[in-house]
Amino acid sequence: MRIAIAVAAGALLLALIAVAWRALDPPWRDIQRKAYPADPPGVVEIAACAGTLDRCATCHADHDAPLGPPRCRAAETLQAQHPPGRFGCSACHGGTARALSPEIAHRMPGTREKDPLLTPPHLEASCGRCHVPARRPGMERLYAGAMKFLELGCLLCHPLEKQGRGSWDFGPDLRALGRLSPRYLGDALLEPTKNFAGSSMPSFAPALADDPAALEALVIFLESLALPRPRECNQRIRADGLLALSCGACHAGEGGAARGAFAHRCDYILHNASRFSCRACHEKTVPAGSSDACPLLSQERKNCAVCHDEPAGGRP
């Protein structure tokens, strides 16, 4: 018995010594000694423009090398536009920016331990934190996913303004669900009842099952909705444009009348109107001077119930 107690005590003592040694000489010190043998090791902190304190460079000492190790896979032009010394690493790659141990730093704050960092091509989702999805190098899939989100009419049940409708007969706010895995999101689109048996969401398999590129793009856009927005940044913050609102992007006037402009999306909508869910309510032409939310309202009243439940045609 005494031998067993002695062995247990010895093992405990060794464990405590190992923990103390790790605290006094953490792994990041060894990384820095190898990267910069002439300099004393120390914590590297970057006050990123997104309002976070980023310590990733403590371990990723050579992050400024374009396309170089360790593990920085951004295109050289994008990295030049987003220098780590100004933006940090977590703004694009995710993770817990303040952490100094990989097991904590390499996961998203407030999520499950197995939730990984964003990796290509899903890294494009992080562009949506600061930028409106557009046809620009580096966010091609994000833009395609945003357009597919509009085309499939997802906004009818998952509106993005005012944190979603929150009503029982509409889908949940996609920005409040937390970060979900790409596999989960893909299953939710193709077979909604697989994740939630009581789901009333229709399957989008007819539109996506035979188009893996479109499915992947839509998943990337859905991922972007769940990522936290920067608290402050001197870059252009993601605007409340067509993708940030649903019908209110056009119908912001009194009684739901159309008002405002589509900004840079106007040309796209003009040439692709037949592909979007807008045609469920609208005809191809709008009567000049019409104050109705929809042309030929009497013929389309069954569709109006999707968004309007007040006698005056107001928003729910």
pLDDT in tens, 21-41: 555 567 777 777 777 777 777
Distances, alpha carbon 87 to alpha carbons 81, 92, 146, 284, in Å: 10, 9, 25, 45
Tens-digit pLDDT profile for residues 141-156: 998 998 888 888 787 7
**8-22, 172-186, 209-223: which is most confident:** 209-223
- Residue 248 clears pLDDT 70, i.e. is over it: no
Tens-digit pLDDT profile for residues 125-135: 988 887 778 77
Distances, alpha carbon 208 to alpha carbons 103, 188, 242, 309, 311, in Å: 35, 12, 23, 31, 37
Give the pLDDT band of residue 214 (cuts 50, 70, 90). Answer: very high
Tens-digit pLDDT profile for residues 256-293: 444 444 333 444 455 555 555 555 555 544 444 444 44
pTM surpassing 0.75? no
Q: How many residues does the chain have?
A: 316
**165-169, 228-232, 251-255, 306-310: which is most confident:** 228-232
Position with higher pLDDT, 251 vs 75: 75
What is the average pLDDT value for the chain, to the nearest integer?
A: 68
Give the pLDDT band of residue 2 (cuts 50, 70, 90). Answer: confident
Residue type, 20: A
Average pLDDT for 193-217? 91
DSSP symbols for 123-150 = GGGGGGGTS---S-TT-HHHHHHHHHHH
Rounded to 10 deg, the angle between the 182-190 and 212-226 helix axes is 120
Measure the CA–CA gap between 142 and 211, rounded to whole angstroms. Answer: 16
- Residue 304 clears pLDDT 80, i.e. is over it: no
Measure the CA–CA gap between 286 and 288, rounded to whole angstroms. Answer: 6
Measure the CA–CA gap between 165 and 237, rounded to whole angstroms. Answer: 24
Measure the CA–CA gap between 127 and 133, rounded to whole angstroms. Answer: 8
Residue type, 225: L
Q: Supply angle C-alpha 111, 113, 114, rounded to 5.
A: 105
Are the beta carbons of 28 and 58 closer than 8 angstroms? yes
Share of the chain above pLDDT 90, in %: 11
Other beta carbons within 10 angstroms of residue 46's beta carbon come to: 21
Q: Which residues, listed in sequence order, are joined to residue 54 by a DSSP beta bridge?
A: 46
- Residue 122 clears pLDDT 50, i.e. is over it: yes
Residue 58: CB partners within 8 Å, gap ≥ 6? 28, 32, 43, 44, 45, 100
- Residue 239 clears pLDDT 70, i.e. is over it: no
Show me where the domains of the chain are located: 43-115, 118-280+296-316
Distances, alpha carbon 115 to alpha carbons 48, 51, 134, 230, in Å: 23, 23, 27, 21
**54-63, 158-167, 211-220: which is most confident:** 211-220
Distances, alpha carbon 90 to alpha carbons 28, 237, 240, 250, in Å: 17, 17, 24, 35
